[in-house]
A = this chain, B = another copy of it.
Amino acid sequence: MKAFNDLADFSNEEISALLELADRLDSQPEPEALRGKVLSLLFLSPSLRTLASFQAAMTRLGGGSFVISPDMSIHGLETRPGIVMDGAAAEHIREAVPVIASYGDAIGIRAFAERKNLETDLAETEFSALIDLIHTPYINMESAMNHPCQNLADWKTLDDLGVPANGGKFVLSWAYHPKALPLAVPSSTLHMAAKRGMDVTVLRPEGFALPDVLMQKASEAAAKSGGSIQESDNRKEAMEDAHIIYAKSWSSTKYYGDKLGDQKAREELIDWCVDDPWFDNAQDDCRFMHCLPVRRGVVVSEPVLDGPRSVVIHEARNRMLAQMAILHQMLGGTS
């Protein structure tokens, strides 16, 4: 495996194999599998779960990692091409990224969307520019439109819970949040659920529809796997018979890059907080999923988040297991 960048690059069979490997590594540790192997971890955007779970994953497999992050005094890596570097930044990513990559057997990179221009972000312009600089295997630790490690972990969570792949109803719901957040999780989660063969409803208020090209990609995945895609702005209808509600806030696509427009659109929607009444006509055992971090009392009510429907900690632990499987396949363990 040379890259783990997008779940779309893998067949459902390959995904099943990865998840079987994840389960096996959980029950039968392999602390020698990657001994002496190094994972470079480059965070151009902040992280908690990804930071912790990748380090833990490498240690459990007998290897190690190092972290370069925006917390460090190496401030302001320059990213603009063709610039005369007479300002604050002392180093350009054109050197920093290949150097960091050269110390590892693989590299994980996180770089959030700029959220100025939707076309640029949909094209993964920034992440592609980083990947073009390296020759080692790499893992997408969240880019403008993708978060494949989260997707793989969530797929595993759905399997763990016994949620049917075909015939299971997956509601991907927008939720209120004071800030305009990236599209990576909703976009790639939509695709994941569709690819798994589920009946997916994207529940979102007006102005927050996901980009056509991503809806299209998900539809194609659904068609192949026997799933379906719908959109709705009606919470009651959307939640009917749902097995899963996957909540996430995201930027307005109508006002993408327009901070004020987005703010005005979202401040009308403060009641899009997932609480008990949302589950009135869902399946009895409908579960609440979220990638974390989540704002209590804003995105989701405390009773739902702390109650038996919530599987958010299970999802987060699956990040580590999914990543162990990816690293095991990528860095030379045999599956």
Which residues of chain B are near A49, meaning CB under 8 Å?
Answer: 99
Residue of B nearest to A60 (CB): B36
> Which residues A295-333 have CB closer than 8 A to chain B?
295-298, 302, 305-306, 312-313, 316-317, 320
Contact of A85 among B58, B62, B94, B296 (CB under 8 A): B296
Contact of A316 among B40, B69, B102, B104 (CB under 8 A): B102
B178 pairs with A86, CB closer than 8 A: yes
Number of copies: 3
Contact with B along A84-98 (1 / 0, CB 8 A): 111000111011101
> Which residues A269-310 have CB closer than 8 A to chain B?
292-298, 302, 305-306
Is A162 positioned at the interface, with any CB of B under 8 Å from its CB? no
Given A36-B59, A103-B53, A292 and B95 contact (CB-CB distance below 8 Å):
yes
Which residues of chain B are near A83, meaning CB under 8 Å?
Answer: 296-297
Distance of A277 from chain B, by nearest CB (Å): 18
Given A46-B74, A84-B296, A85-B297, A103 and B56 contact (CB-CB distance below 8 Å):
yes
B63 pairs with A48, CB closer than 8 A: no
A37 to B59, CA, bound (A): 7
Total interface residues on A, CB under 8 Å, equals 68
Is A223 positioned at the interface, with any CB of B under 8 Å from its CB? no
Distance of A36 from chain B, by nearest CB (Å): 3
A48 pairs with B68, CB closer than 8 A: yes
Is A29 positioned at the interface, with any CB of B under 8 Å from its CB? yes
A59 pairs with B70, CB closer than 8 A: no
Contact of A29 among B36, B53, B66, B100 (CB under 8 A): B36
Which residues of chain B are near A94, meaning CB under 8 Å?
Answer: 296, 305-306
Which residues of chain B are near A148, meaning CB under 8 Å?
Answer: none
Is A72 positioned at the interface, with any CB of B under 8 Å from its CB? yes
Distance of A129 from chain B, by nearest CB (Å): 14
Distance of A177 from chain B, by nearest CB (Å): 9
A66 pairs with B84, CB closer than 8 A: no
Which residues of chain B are near A11, meaning CB under 8 Å?
Answer: none
A35 pairs with B62, CB closer than 8 A: yes
Is A128 positioned at the interface, with any CB of B under 8 Å from its CB? no
B92 pairs with A296, CB closer than 8 A: yes
A91 pairs with B293, CB closer than 8 A: yes
Is A61 positioned at the interface, with any CB of B under 8 Å from its CB? yes
**Which residues on A are within 8 Å of B, measured CB to CB?**
29-32, 35-38, 40, 46-49, 51-53, 55-56, 58-66, 68-74, 78, 82-86, 90-92, 94-96, 98-100, 102-104, 178, 292-298, 302, 305-306, 312-313, 316-317, 320
9 pairs of A and B residues whose beta carbons are closest in the complex: A31-B36, A59-B64, A91-B293, A84-B297, A85-B295, A55-B66, A56-B103, A46-B73, A102-B317
Q: What are 9 A-B pairs with beta-carbon distances under 8 A? A: A32-B35, A32-B36, A36-B62, A85-B296, A85-B297, A86-B295, A94-B306, A95-B312, A102-B316
